[in-house]
Amino acid sequence: MKKTISKNILLIRFSSLGDVVLLRPVLDQFLILYVDLNLWVVSNKDYQSLFNYNERIKFIGVDLKKSVFKIYQQVKNDTKSINFDGIYDFHDVIRSKSLCFLLKNKTEKNRVFIKDRATKQKIINHKIDIKKLKHTSERYLDCLKQDFPKLDFKKIKKIFSQGKNKQNTIGLAPFSAHESKQWPLKNYRELITKYEKFHFILFAFGEEEIAASKDQFLNNKNIELISKNLSLNEQMEIINKCKVFISLDSANMHLASLTSTPVVSIWGPTHPFLGFSPLFNNEFIVQLNKNELPCRPCSVYGKIRKKDMDCAQKSMINITSEMVFEKVNLALKN
């Protein structure tokens, strides 16, 4: 007879995709350690496939274009008979705070994860010595550990622990939601010429990315464009078959880091020490050091102030294809 689970907690993380992806390994560990709980996740409806893998995860996909009250009504309707043992705000913005307030009658316990915005902005504004801040996934865990002490960031695992049927393929995600984090496309072309024996799979989504990819890359017979509407899990399955994946500081990087494939990530105006580094792949990070460009980092997420435009541009254009080539070779030997 199937056991009925009566305990429930609600987790809120609307966006962005990279931050939502970083929630996935936290949930994996939670499901193993706490078998008597259902996890309700409120997030962007487009991210549903990321959570369709365990019946104890109840996904509530919302349209972020709607008002917080309409989102509240949807959550309330989807959880009519449920009271929560805790509601955990993993976003800490006005909308998530408002939703928690509106749901106050469904729980006696509200928790908010600590973003530590002040320290991050201090680093950006004053260029103080950069010390590695807590990873975002660890901050999620810290919030939960107040009530679930078995959780341990050191025991976070990848979704794909082993790579089977690795192909002679290098994955490439040359685009970012923020233009400031873009590495010049000509550098990718230079890099590709160094690996004539490899097949390249290029990830591009949206009209602009697809058009740029066709213009810059598709005259090379060794490059295959992945532009169709794949689920996030399908994207990870493709990445998991690659020998190396090359990405910017982007959601693609976080997706790839949950696979068994080594991830080479290219960093410019942002910095991995601010809490968004790839899980498990820090040895393959490419960036200019503080001596080379003291103005880094000049952004937490990629949004650039006018006075930092020059720094942001230099932080990317001064990274050479040879620098990335060295890290890719290191990853291939891994």
Spatial separation of the C-alpha atoms in residues 131 and 137, rounded to whole Å: 17
User: What is residue 218's predicted lDDT score, i.e. its pLDDT?
Assistant: 83
CATH code at 145? 3.40.50.2000
Q: Residue 262 carries which side chain, given as an amino acid letter? A: P
Q: What is the DSSP letter of 3?
A: P
Answer whether residue 38 is part of any domain.
yes
Answer whether residue 162 is part of any domain.
no
Taking the complete model, does pTM exceed 0.75, yes or no?
A: yes
Percent of the chain scoring above 90 in pLDDT: 88
Residue-number span of the structural domain to which 329 is assigned: 169-333
Q: End of a domain among 132, 155, 178?
A: 155
Residue 184 near residue 317, CB atoms below 8 Å: yes
Answer whether residue 309 is part of any domain.
yes
Mark whether 90 and 194 lie in a shared domain. no
Residue identified by tokens 């952004």 is: 299
Mark whether 228 and 96 lie in a shared domain. no
Spatial separation of the C-alpha atoms in residues 279 and 267, rounded to whole Å: 15
Number of Cβ within a 10 Å radius of residue 20:
23
Answer whether residue 293 is part of any domain.
yes
Q: Which residues of the chain have pLDDT under 70?
A: 1-4, 163-164
Mark whether 123 and 180 lie in a shared domain. no
Answer whether residue 310 is part of any domain.
yes
Q: Residue 283: in which H helix or E strand, if any?
A: none
Mark whether 58 and 110 lie in a shared domain. yes
| Beta strand spans in the chain (E) | 7-12, 37-44, 57-62, 86-89, 110-112, 169-173, 199-203, 223-226, 244-248, 263-266, 285-286
Pairing of strands 7-12, 37-44: parallel
Mark whether 55 and 99 lie in a shared domain. yes
Task: Say how many domains are in the chain.
Answer: 2
